[in-house]
């Protein structure tokens, strides 16, 4: 075998001497929509219905052991429509969390292109799914004192709304007295601010605000008063906004703007930008971004 020139030989020897973690692998290409749609995970341990519509159910994933386990409420995205998957893809996340000792409550819900979806039905589904979780915790090893709501894209809007719903007026059809409190939120490329991000929501998802917030009426002149997390501040929550550096659906600017609004109102918010990641890397336990996403979730679950 021919000898390498001295400089190359020295470089090769130096590389061999490095610990394995010091030689970075070639980074994976950012995930695309097709990669996201192909995500899979384990079957749930149980499925529970909270209504009679086909989409009104939630899946429970339990880690091995006796528990009680901390709980992640998972809410999928998909631009509030049926076209882009949803609960099936989030089983990928639920399986990875179970391996870390975290139970998942994976929520399906009526979207704007389903009967009863949009305003007020989609939000009422969130209320009902959380009420059912509180009921099931009485007979399953779930620790609701350690609870985080994790939502992707449109689901990010919904989980931040969950944390804010205690401020909804009693006159609203979305009002839920004695509801399960959500104090910790991880928003993955979320589109939370319906009022201020109308143009982005239209360009990214082709959604009109009337679908998501309803239409004004004399009894309800401000459609954001019970739908928009950005108008229901402060609410005592802590939000971690996780966004891919290359996210074009909900760019990093969106996370920084919402975090600034949260902090100005007196609540807590952190921003995590995932290097080289797309909108779909944010929600895949198989992506290079997963360690940072998991870190955010586990941080939210610390006492």
Token pair recorded at residue 60: 């429970």
φ and ψ at 107, to 5 degrees? -100, 130
Class of residue 61 by CB neighbours under 10 A (exposed 0-12, middle 13-18, buried 19+): buried
Residues of the chain with pLDDT under 70: 1-27
Write down the H helix ranges in 239-289.
Answer: 252-265
Token pair recorded at residue 1: 């075998």
pLDDT at 11: 38
pLDDT at 27: 57
C-alpha distances in Å from residue 37, one per residue of 16, 33, 164: 39, 6, 30
pLDDT tens digit sequence for 198-235: 999 999 999 888 999 999 999 999 999 999 999 999 99
pLDDT at 85: 78
3-state helix, strand, coil in the chain (%, to 5): 35, 15, 45
Token pair recorded at residue 245: 């550096």
User: Nearest to residue 267, comparing CAs of 192, 146, 186, 184?
Assistant: 184
User: Nearest to residue 242, comparing CAs of 230, 250, 232, 234?
Assistant: 250
pLDDT at 84: 85
pLDDT at 19: 41
φ and ψ at 39, to 5 degrees? -65, 140
pLDDT at 8: 38
C-alpha distances in Å from residue 135, one per residue of 74, 159, 258: 17, 19, 32
Q: What gap in Å lies between CA 206 and CA 72, rounded to an integer?
A: 29
Which residues in 112-226 belong to E strands, given as ranges?
142-152, 184-188
CATH 3.30.590.20 is the classification of domain 29-300: no
User: Nearest to residue 94, comparing CAs of 58, 138, 52?
Assistant: 58
User: Is 164 in contact with 233 (CB distance < 8 Å)?
Assistant: yes
What is the domain partition of the chain in residue ranges? 29-300
User: Is 191 in contact with 157 (CB distance < 8 Å)?
Assistant: yes
């Amino acid at each position: 075998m021919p000898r390498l020139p001295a400089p190359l030989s020295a470089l090769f020897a130096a590389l061999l001497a490095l610990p394995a973690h010091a030689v970075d692998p070639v980074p994976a290409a950012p995930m695309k929509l097709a990669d996201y749609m192909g995500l899979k995970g384990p079957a749930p341990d149980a499925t529970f219905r909270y209504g009679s519509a086909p989409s009104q159910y939630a899946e429970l994933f339990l880690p091995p052991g006796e528990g009680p386990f901390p709980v992640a409420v998972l809410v999928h995205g998909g631009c509030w429509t049926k076209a882009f998957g949803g609960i099936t893809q989030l089983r990928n996340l639920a399986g990875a969390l179970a391996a870390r000792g975290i139970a998942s409550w994976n929520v399906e819900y009526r979207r704007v292109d389903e009967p009863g979806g949009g305003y007020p039905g989609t939000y009422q589904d969130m209320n009902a799914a959380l009420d059912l979780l509180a009921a099931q915790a009485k007979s399953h090893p779930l620790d609701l004192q350690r609870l985080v709501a994790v939502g992707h894209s449109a689901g990010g809007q919904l989980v931040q709304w969950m944390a804010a719903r205690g401020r909804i007026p009693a006159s609203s059809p979305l009002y839920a007295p004695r509801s399960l409190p959500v104090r910790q939120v991880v928003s993955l490329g979320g589109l939370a601010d319906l009022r201020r991000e109308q143009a982005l929501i239209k360009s990214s998802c082709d959604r009109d605000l009337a679908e998501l917030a309803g239409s004004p009426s004399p009894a309800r002149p401000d459609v954001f008063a019970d739908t928009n997390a950005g108008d229901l501040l402060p609410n005592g929550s802590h939000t971690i906004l996780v966004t891919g550096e290359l996210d074009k659906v909900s760019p990093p600017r969106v996370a920084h703007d919402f975090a600034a609004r949260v902090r100005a109102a007196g609540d807590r918010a952190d921003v995590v930008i995932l290097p080289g990641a797309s909108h779909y890397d944010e929600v895949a336990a198989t992506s290079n971004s997963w360690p940072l996403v998991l870190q955010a979730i586990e941080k939210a679950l610390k006492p």
